[in-house]
Amino acid sequence: MTYELYYWPGLPGRGEFVRLALEEAGATYTEMVREAGIATMMGVWQDSDIATPPFAPPILKHGKKVIAQTALILLYLGDRHGLAPKAEAARLWTHQIQLTIADCVLEAHDAHHPLGVDFYYEDQKPESARRAAVFRHTRMPKFLGWFEKILARNPKGDRFLVGGRLSYADLSLFHMVEGLSYAFPKATKRALVKVPRVAALGERVARRPRVASYIASDRRTAFNEDGIFRHYPELDG
């Protein structure tokens, strides 16, 4: 059964974490907004017949199931495509890591939107400068240090976040590091020196045949200043 993915057009955003899992799984999926326009997403989003209406995109439709919340979509896909361990403790640990990635991604977003999404960046530039400085100096190193630590402690070695096989969390960490490198190139370059396992994981994921093929394709949307990870030079340093 084909998956239907509904997400904002023109930016990688949180949809990208879902796309990477679908691509690595070799799953068949349709980007509904790209195929049928934004109205198709609003239709699903606002459909009054859905008993489990999504609060926000990304939204994955699979048969009759309508699932939102990025980490939950990945939990769902992980089980179906061997992108998470089957053993319960390891499966939940993978999800825990994903939830922590989500926390870091949100803080990266809030670096340019500390006053919330109802104001443009241009209307919160001084506030962004203060929050971004804390993110660069304190929060980003703290998050990256945690990922480095769990790689170092993985009893199966430091090639993957959980056990000895790729999980959706590895794909997401790769994308997060890519996003940080786009948004804060100077600060991220500095930070990655201290987390060599995280840096190496990112490079390995990028070389996986399906990931590499996806990145080279026109299915991949480049980072830009409409997304979560935005490059405003004044926020880097």
Nearest to 170 by CA among 82, 96, 98, 85: 98
CB of 223 to its own copies, least distance (A): 23
233: tokens are 């030079």
Cα–Cα separations (whole angstroms), residue 61 to 1, 64, 68, 138, 168: 10, 7, 9, 38, 18
CB of 218 to its own copies, least distance (A): 31
CB of 112 to its own copies, least distance (A): 12
Q: Point out which residues bind its own copies (CB under 8 A).
A: 50-53, 55, 65, 67-69, 71-72, 75-76, 89, 92-93, 95-96, 99-100, 103, 106-107, 110, 114-116, 118-119, 127, 130-131, 134-135, 138-139, 143, 146, 149-150, 153-155
State how far Cα 70 lies from the chain centre.
8
Q: In the complex with its own copies, which residue's Cβ is closer, 143 or 223?
A: 143
Q: In the complex with its own copies, which residue's Cβ is closer, 12 or 54?
A: 54
Burial level of 36, CB count in 10 A (0-12/13-18/19+)?
Answer: middle
Distance of alpha carbon 105 from alpha carbon 173, whole angstroms: 10
Distance of alpha carbon 202 from alpha carbon 177, whole angstroms: 7
Q: In the complex with its own copies, which residue's Cβ is closer, 100 or 220?
A: 100
CB of 35 to its own copies, least distance (A): 25
Distance of alpha carbon 188 from alpha carbon 140, whole angstroms: 8
Asked if 232 and 120 touch (Cβ cutoff 8 Å), the reply is no
CB of 46 to its own copies, least distance (A): 10
Asked if 119 and 113 touch (Cβ cutoff 8 Å), the reply is yes
CB of 25 to its own copies, least distance (A): 18
Q: In the complex with its own copies, which residue's Cβ is closer, 191 or 211?
A: 191
